[in-house]
Structure 1
């Protein structure tokens, strides 16, 4: 694993830019096209598959392209979402209240994961003169930003590991495989001043262009 990372670093390449073992013509991208049209109010053109890095200069599907495909074949891209009964996983109060395993297109996974948190959150509210103001446990924009960051910054070379979103009675935890890109420990750093270093820059660009995450370096402060 460390050797693969060193080879990538030495070659100046990133995992998401590498050619995959999957053929472009075998994949569909309806989810990407749908979100692109909804967000940018224009159709996704065929030449953008190359300019966005979904297909490389040799007409091969990149790993980024495989992750964005409707039925993504990359199994380690899954997200496991769980609503636990209590304050931890082992408090003896019973099994999980709700759980779901998300797979396929990472854009669809983001949307479904945000929906899971929304549907399993409590809401306070008060009534104004002509509307009702709702205050959920977790602001949806912050949840979207946190999950988007987990997706684009995770280490996809860690086989057998997935993103986990765990909801407890008093908190929400998001686990994303892979440590800091430079090997440092986040516990020794200030999360609000850590420089933005993108493990998967193509994915980061996709999500930024589509308005699914904040601009580089501003997300943590917004959360």
Structure 2
């Protein structure tokens, strides 16, 4: 793995001059952010102006990095540590893979914090971002979550009218379940609650998109 390729071809990287054992949060937050976002590289032994200065004890640092990640990150993300030597200087490259069990938290000082990658920075996840990470980790979405509202208390006259116009068929009660708008035990999902005639979910909006074509890359976009 060439350092110049990582720095030159991707923004998903962070760098540290040296390993700060006593300040693990200073670099562990990047591990958390990479795992919670799209993955990335954390490089030890590079100065702020991208000069390779190397590490004095790269083998020991590699062991410490692995130990600290396993101790401070929960759950432990998938990562790989490799060495790169240039002009006698050895740097460590920690490749962090995009995680499937989000959110990946940093644990320390009595705090449990999740970070995300925004541009070239690792920032603490906002409440909304944290909720998205939780849903992603559960392999689900907000729309598919069950609501507290019963199907029998709400009407879908606008949906039925539009469905009839578009398909020529009547919209049956069983379609609410098959379309993911209700559960089999008679409760609306969040999607169903949003589409109901008098939606009980306030301060929300629905955005619809249509792609004219066989795929997103080849079709035109209508909002």
Q: For the superposition of Structure 1 and Structure 2, which TM-score range results when normalised by the shorter chain?
A: 0.3 to 0.5
**TM-score when scaled to structure 2?**
0.38
Q: Name whichever structure is richer in helix by fraction.
A: 1
**TM-score when scaled to structure 1?**
0.38
Q: Name whichever structure is richer in strand by fraction.
A: 2
Q: Give the number of the structure with larger relative contact order, counting CA–CA contacts within 8 Å between residues 6 or more apart.
A: 1
